[in-house]
């Protein structure tokens, strides 16, 4: 019994030493994401933009002010104006497919919430969107 305990302890210690040796210099193995600092945000010119697409917000605690972050680069202005969209796996139910349908417009951009397509009250709206963009569920 003592021999099996000693063998198990030896195996554990060798495995621990091996794992530590393999994990040297891997602090950012899974990425090095972090929250942006004030300098990071100011360096992006997102605070200074007065036009463009809203990409987020930053609350400056020292002056208790919410700065809207906007991007006004050519990436969102030079897209075609026809309807567009993406299809993707639902994040919370991988067996389901989700759709994002939108119209790209060169001059205007607005975001509004019209509720959820899973709400029966929005069935007609959903049918209209599918018809407008010549889409259908299979």
Q: What range defines the domain where residue 112 resides?
A: 79-132
Tell me the per-residue pLDDT of 67-117, one tens digit each, with 9 for 90 and over: 888 888 776 665 555 556 777 777 777 788 777 776 655 555 555 666 676
> What is the predicted pLDDT for the residue at 117?
66
Which tokens in the block code for residue 107?
Answer: 């001059």
* Judgement on whether residues 42 and 86 belong to the same structural domain of the protein: no
* Judgement on whether residues 83 and 123 belong to the same structural domain of the protein: yes
The mean pLDDT value for 41-60 works out to 86
Q: Is residue 40 included in any domain, yes or no?
A: yes
Could you tell me where the DSSP H helices lie in the chain?
2-22, 38-42, 74-77, 123-132
* Judgement on whether residues 64 and 94 belong to the same structural domain of the protein: no
* Judgement on whether residues 39 and 65 belong to the same structural domain of the protein: yes
Q: Is residue 12 included in any domain, yes or no?
A: no
Which tokens in the block code for residue 48?
Answer: 């200074």
Place of tokens 């021999």: 3
Alpha-carbon distance 16 to 21, whole Å?
Answer: 9
Alpha-carbon distance 33 to 100, whole Å?
Answer: 27
Mean pLDDT of the chain: 75
> What is the predicted pLDDT for the residue at 63?
92
**Domain total for the chain?**
2
Q: What percent of the chain has pLDDT over 70?
A: 69
> What is the predicted pLDDT for the residue at 19?
75
> What is the predicted pLDDT for the residue at 138?
57
pLDDT over 70 (residue 135) = yes
* Judgement on whether residues 98 and 87 belong to the same structural domain of the protein: yes
* Judgement on whether residues 40 and 66 belong to the same structural domain of the protein: yes
* Judgement on whether residues 67 and 104 belong to the same structural domain of the protein: no
Q: Is residue 60 included in any domain, yes or no?
A: yes
> What is the predicted pLDDT for the residue at 30?
66
């Amino acid at each position: 019994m003592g021999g099996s305990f000693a063998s198990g302890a030896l195996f554990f210690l060798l495995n621990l030493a091996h794992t530590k040796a393999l994990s040297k210099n891997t602090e950012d193995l899974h990425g090095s994401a972090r929250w942006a600092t004030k300098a990071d945000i100011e360096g992006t010119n997102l605070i200074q933009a007065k036009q463009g697409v809203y990409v987020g917000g930053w609350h400056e605690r020292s002056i208790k002010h919410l700065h809207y972050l906007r991007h006004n680069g050519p990436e969102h202005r030079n897209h075609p104006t026809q309807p567009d969209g993406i299809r993707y796996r639902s994040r919370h139910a991988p067996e389901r497919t989700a759709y994002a349908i939108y119209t790209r417009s060169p001059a205007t951009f607005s975001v509004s919430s019209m509720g959820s397509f899973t709400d029966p009250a929005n069935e007609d709206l959903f049918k209209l969107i599918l018809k407008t963009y010549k889409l259908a569920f299979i």
